[in-house]
Structure formats: C-alpha cells, structure tokens
Amino acid sequence: MTRTLQKDSHGPFAGLRVAITGGTSGLGLALVRELLGRGAHLALVARDRERVEGTAREHGRAHGIVGDVSKKEDIHPIAMQIIGSLGGLDVLVNNASDLGPTPLALLGDTDCEDFERALATNVLGPFRLTKALLGALAASARDGRGAVVLNVSSDAAINAYSRWGAYGTSKAALRHLSHIWNEELLAEGVRFLSLDPGDMDTPLHAVAVPDSDPATLKRPEAAARELAEAIAAALPARSSREARAGAAGVEVDSS
C-alpha cells in the first residue's frame, strides 16, 4: 500500500534532493516521512532489500537504494544511484549507525571485529559516502540551492559511558570529522551539521537498553521534525536559491 503524504510545495525543502542512510526504520524512516512531507525529492539507503523496496513502495516518491555503507565496495554504487535517481544532491543525512557489541560490553571485553564494525559504519561509511558525493554537493552550493550534510550524533560522542565504548568512540570521531569538514568547506557553501537527536524510542535503542520504558523516550517523529528545522536553518533563503538558480538558467521545482 502506498502511503500518501501531504506535500509542502513552498517550504525550504520543496524540490530539494535529499539522501538518507539507514532510512527504513527508527529515526531514518521518520526523516524519510518528514522530508517527503515537506516536498523533498528523496533517496533512502539501507542494507535489507526487502525493507528498502517495501519502504519505497509505501512512500511512493522515495527512491530505494540497497547498500551497506560500512562496506567500501558499496559506496560508489550507492553514490551513483543517489545522483542518478535524484539528478544531483542538496542534502545528505548520514544516519545509519552500529552499536558495536550487543549486549553492550566493556572495552576490554569488546571483540576487535565488533569495534571495527562500529567504526566502519559510523565513521568510515559517512566519510566515504560524503567524499564520493562532495562534487554533487559543491555543485548544488554553486547553483544557489545550498548544500548540507547532517551527521547524526549522540551524547555518547561527548560523555564517556561505560559499555558504550565502540559506539561512543565512533560517534566522537564522526562529530570531530563533521567540525573539521565544516571548517574546510564552509567557504564553498557546503555546511556540515553534527546533531544529537536525543534518546528515542527506536529499534536501535531497544537493542542497546532493552529494559528502558518507551514512554520516557522521545518519539523519532519529534526528533525528525527538529532535525528538519536544523537543516532548513542551514540552507540559504529560498528566495535567494530561486534567484540564483534562475540567473543560471536552472528551473527550480516548486510543485
């Protein structure tokens, strides 16, 4: 069954090309729904083909891409499919995450393979995918559409939580990576955001803290709205985008 969303044809996301990793559950799925509802053209990326295809069917206007960002060999096929399906890219959301060992473990008890998987998914994946898409993002910035990369962070990137070593270390690295990239590319008009959505009622949180009370956690839909507003604030004003795109002879889709 295709899910019909009310489309905002005049807001800051109208016509923008957005890619979201980890887009079939939790915060990623909430972001897919939120940004489609705001009029974005969207591609979602996840590992499980059945879930990707099901999510794309349910949401009609979303392009589903099957790939694992933790695998180097998947990165360029993912990037090519994003550009091919959207015709460019304005916003990239690196949301896919890995907890490391489950149940969570002390660092001294963490298998090297679990630590490597967390780093591959949470740091190397976003680095490689962003690097592969930088040309498209920079082109979007030059066209006046704006370019934003949101790397989803966590309070574990700042606070040293026992048993969260693999996850916290990888998220801390991603946070610092975001700040450095923002410093290096701000002059080119590419903005990098590192934002913590808070503790949410998601499958990832349920695996990490199985005895938590969902009633005490933020709904992913609320976090998605907050992140969407943060992305919108980092984009140039829509009138500026339209004026610069018009001057360049580029049609801005506001339908």
Cα angle 208, 211, 217 (rounded to 5 degrees) comes to: 75
Residue 133, domain member (yes or no)? yes
**What is the per-residue pLDDT for 26?**
94
pLDDT in tens, 112-125: 999 999 999 999 99
Strand pairing class (62-66; 41-46): parallel
- Report how far residue 9's alpha carbon sits from residue 39's, in angstroms, rounded to the nearest whole number: 6
Give percent of the chain with pLDDT exceeding 70: 89
Four-residue CA torsion sign, 66, 69, 70, 73: positive
What's the CA dihedral at 165, 170, 171, 177 to 10 degrees? 150
Residue 196 belongs to a domain with what CATH number?
3.40.50.720
247 compared with 44, residue with greater pLDDT: 44
Neighbouring CB atoms inside 10 A of 214's CB total 11
For residue 161, what are the domain limits?
Answer: 17-244
Q: Does residue 167 have an active-site annotation?
A: yes
Residue 159, domain member (yes or no)? yes
Span 1-18, mean pLDDT? 72
Q: Where are the alpha helices (DSSP H) in 38-164?
A: 49-59, 72-86, 112-119, 125-142
pLDDT in tens, 48-71: 999 999 999 999 889 999 999 999
- Which strands sit side by side in the sheet containing 62-66, from one edge to the other? 62-66, 41-46, 17-21, 91-94, 147-152, 190-195
What's the CA dihedral at 90, 120, 158, 223 to 10 degrees? 40
The overall average pLDDT reported for the chain is 90
Strand pairing class (147-152; 190-195): parallel
Span 139-147, mean pLDDT? 95
Residue 11, domain member (yes or no)? no
Residue 152, domain member (yes or no)? yes
Span 134-158, mean pLDDT? 96
Tokens coding 72 = 């180097």
**What is the per-residue pLDDT for 9?**
58
Among candidate residues 43, 38, 47, the one with its CA nearest the CA of residue 20: 43
**What is the per-residue pLDDT for 4?**
47
Q: Pick the catalytic residue: 167, 193, 197, 200?
A: 167
Say how far residue 8 (Cα) sits from the centre of its chain: 20
Residue 45, domain member (yes or no)? yes
Query: Do residues 148 and 90 make contact, with C-beta atoms less than 8 angstroms apart?
Result: yes
pLDDT in tens, 174-233: 999 999 999 999 999 999 999 999 988 788 888 888 888 888 888 999 999 999 999 999
**What is the per-residue pLDDT for 60?**
86
Give percent of the chain with pLDDT exceeding 90: 78
Number of structural domains in the chain: 1
Residue 179, domain member (yes or no)? yes
- Report how far residue 130's alpha carbon sits from residue 124's, in angstroms, rounded to the nearest whole number: 10
Residue 87, domain member (yes or no)? yes
Residue 38, domain member (yes or no)? yes
**What is the per-residue pLDDT for 182?**
98
**pTM, to two decimals:** 0.89
**What is the per-residue pLDDT for 246?**
39
Span 131-151, mean pLDDT? 97
Torsions phi, psi for 37 (to 5 deg): -65, -20
Least confident of 72-86, 96-110, 175-189, 208-222: 208-222
**What is the per-residue pLDDT for 212?**
84
Query: Do residues 21 and 128 make contact, with C-beta atoms less than 8 angstroms apart?
Result: no
**What is the per-residue pLDDT for 201?**
79
Query: Do residues 152 and 93 make contact, with C-beta atoms less than 8 angstroms apart?
Result: yes
Show Cβ contacts of residue 155 under 8 Å, excluding neighbours closer than 6 positions.
Answer: 196, 198
